[in-house]
Amino acid sequence: MSNDRKTQILDALESEHRDAPENSARRGFLSAAAALIGGGAMAWGMTGCEGGTTTSAPTGATPAHEPEGQSIHVGPGKLDDYYGFWSGGQSGEIRILGIPSMRELKRIPVFNRESATGWGRDDWSKELLKGTSSGDTHHVHLSYKDGTYDGRYIFVNDKAQARLARVRCSTMEVDAIVDLPNSQGTHGIFPQRHKTGYVFCNAEFRIPMPNDGRDLNDPSKYGAMHTAVDGESMEVKWQVLVEGNMDLCATDYEGKYSFATCYNSEGGVTLEGMMAADQDWLYVFNLAACEAAVAAGETITVGKGKVPVIDGRAGDSAVVLRIPVPKSPHGVNVSPDGKYAVVAGKLSPTCSVIDISRIADAFAGKIKPRDCVVAEPELGLGPLHTAFDGKGNGYTSIFIDSVMTKWNIDKAIRQFAGEDVDPIIEKVDVHYQVGHTNASMSETKDADGKWLVALCKFSKDRFLNVGPLRPENDQLIDMTMDKLKVVHDGPAYSEPHDCVIVKRDLINPLKVMDRKDPRHEYCQAIAAKDGVDLLTTNKVVREGRKVRVYITSIAPAFGLSDFEVRSGDEVQVFVTNLDNVEDLSHGFCMVNHDVNMLVNAQGTNSITFTAGSPGVYWYYCPWFCHALHLEMRGRMLVKA
């Protein structure tokens, strides 16, 4: 290239940058240079879009005639059409958003301590959390019946502590947490889709089996667990031990199989070792064969564990099938018609389409495992996850290119068979480095092709600068027009990994608490031993240095205006909210004692603490409930 030509390009770039508004998209800026260099042959910086595909107009560029699309505006007093359930990443929580407004409606504390509600500090949550106060929620999925959501439960994993939690949709509160034995780095989870049966959990990190200090430096003795948890009882039923790291998880629609991507078939313990092979695997677990092995006692014991473990490390068997796919696969997603599992090759530009109907023949040895692959379209650099519209199209997040690729499954299959057809329909730029994606009802048989979200790992210049730790960027995309269009940026903290979008009529939370809530039953079991009716009794029960205080509340007063204890007493306070008005919550905060908890309408909660030095300590309602809210308080009188 001549120096004159270089100067021309640099001048154009400088002019484009100088004249562009501060919040203009980088794609428009870079496209000018691409056009000068040679008809757009240069890659678009972070996007890397290949020639021969259609790319929608860069975000920020306005077409001459803007097409009509869906409105994201939800007016005052109006309701969103969908619930969005987002994992909260390192915050350890679940978030509920309204779609399409992208308004954050609620945060459900799960593995974290939250001051506002007292989660992680009150008695019920402390018992569930067993002393921990942090977590890393990655994947959130709802319970199913007949291929669609049944509105009963939400399941979410903790990658940091190898746990699975369940949230009741009726209260949007956690009701169970189970530890997953022999596992580290629990990452992908997925429930069965034909009923609320098993929830499968993948251990991402390979560890020695047993992990008791032996074989520390012998990776050949390492393995990882695929764990089956009963979604009703929240009990670990069985595990399958495999040799490779497992990443994302999925299930079919008939209850026959569960899936796990394996990005470390090499058994490496370093970055280079884990990237060596050109192909890794999709593990397919034959659930009937797993249950038969457990029933027949064909299991091993790992360490001191009591959970039956099936050893699946000995190559393809009746229990585990290994389908070769390129390279370092990440996401696996099943199409709404139940026909295909789509596996994204993180270090390959391709997705592998697995024909689920062929899997039985592969298990039986009638065909090779690789024969289950019926398509492998090239979608871009760094494919991670695929969503669906219910019309035969996939929407794959492309991390390195920072695009969402829309492609047709049938055309991909025909191309793989040798037909001259291009399966790629469109690519739309997103900002920036998109990770997970999902679409409205995409993980069900009722995928409706309305809304698509791109969960981008970086926001860079999309929002006001708030310092070195920036928010991420959740972008909402309208799927209903001829061209995909990004219609909303939503800042997100901190690193949500995945989400699902659910029609609002499938979710029916309570407006006030019911007496069947497990938290209330926990409190009532203690009260019964003291002969206390939580709904009518205000009473102090003394048992040596243990004091139990039962208080009712109805705006704007507590049932006890004061109670007396001694310094050093273990004090357990129970508060029952007798108000029957929706959206009228009370709480209990004891000053200078690190005590604060939420008590919803018709609910009961308890919290335990040690009484401090002698003196007067006020307790008050921290949730605004009445015109005389500030007067809703009482005294703890602490004697020496």
Task: Provide the CATH topology of domain 518-639.
Answer: Immunoglobulin-like (2.60.40)
Is residue 594's pLDDT more than 70? yes
Tokens of 59: 């975000």
Cα gap 91→250, rounded to integer Å:
24
Residue 620: is its pLDDT beyond 60?
yes
pLDDT of residue 266: 86
pLDDT in tens, 427-466: 999 999 999 999 999 999 999 999 999 999 999 999 999 9
Which range is least confidently modeled, 45-59, 365-379, 528-542? 45-59
Q: Give the residues across from 591 on adjacent strands.
A: none
Three-state SS at 15: helix
Domain extent listing, the chain:
3-38, 518-639
Distance CA 184, CA 207 (A): 8
Predicted pLDDT of residue 8? 43
Distance from C-alpha of 558 to C-alpha of 335, rounded to nearest angstrom: 54
User: Rounded CA gap, 65 and 307, in Å?
Assistant: 62
Q: What is the pLDDT of residue 535?
A: 95
Least confident of 3-7, 129-133, 403-407: 3-7
> In which band, very low, low, confident or very high, does the pLDDT at 382 lie, cut at 50, 70 and 90?
very high
pLDDT tens string 384-432 = 999 999 999 999 999 999 999 999 999 999 999 999 999 999 999 999 9
**CA 316 distance to own-chain centroid:** 31
pLDDT tens for 201-258 read 999 999 999 999 999 999 989 999 999 999 999 999 999 999 999 999 999 999 999 9
pLDDT of residue 494: 79
- When pLDDT is cut at 50, 70 and 90, the band that residue 35 belongs to is very low
Written as six digits, the tokens of 63 are 């077409």
Q: Which of 18, 59, 28, 40 is nearest to 429 (CA)?
A: 59
pLDDT of 28 > 60? The answer is no
Question: How do strand 186-191 and strand 198-203 relate by DSSP bridges?
Answer: antiparallel
Question: Tens digits of per-residue pLDDT, 145-162?
Answer: 999 999 999 999 999 999
User: What is the pLDDT, as a whole number, of residue 314?
Assistant: 78
Residue 496's pLDDT is 82
Q: In angstroms, how far is CA 37 from the centroid of its own chain?
A: 42
pLDDT of residue 517: 86
Average pLDDT over residues 561-570: 98
CA distance 214 to 434: 40
Look at residue 495 in the predicted model and tell me its pLDDT: 85
- List beta partners, residue 430: none
What are the Cα distances from residue 9, in Å, to 2, 12, 37, 270?
A: 11, 5, 8, 42
Torsion angles phi and psi, residue 273, rounded to 5: -65, -35
pLDDT tens-place string over residues 316-336: 689 999 999 999 999 999 999
Q: Give the start-end residues of each E strand in 121-211.
A: 140-145, 148-158, 163-168, 173-179, 186-191, 198-203, 207-208
pTM of the model: 0.90
Flag the least confident range among 313-322, 357-366, 372-381, 600-609: 313-322
From CA 328, how far away is CA 323, in angstroms rounded?
Answer: 13
Q: Rounded to the nearest 5°, which phi and psi values hold at 221?
A: -95, 0
Spatial separation of the C-alpha atoms in residues 186 and 260, rounded to whole Å: 12
pLDDT at 194: 97
**pLDDT bucket at 67, cuts 50 / 70 / 90:** low
Identity of residue 120? G
- What is the structure's pLDDT at 33? 32
Report the candidate in 484, 494, 344 with the shortest Cα–Cα distance to residue 426: 484
What pLDDT is stored for residue 283 in this prediction? 97
Q: Out of 31-45, 483-497, 534-548, give the one with best mean pLDDT.
A: 534-548
Q: Is the pLDDT of residue 38 over 80?
A: no
* E strand segments, 465-622: 472-478, 485-492, 499-503, 539-543, 546-554, 557-558, 562-566, 570-577, 586-590, 595-599, 604-610, 615-620
Residue 316 pLDDT: 67
Question: What angle do helix axes 26-38 and 3-19 make, rounded to 10 degrees?
Answer: 160
pLDDT in tens, 504-551: 999 999 999 988 889 999 999 999 999 999 999 999 999 999 999 999
Mean pLDDT for the chain overall: 90
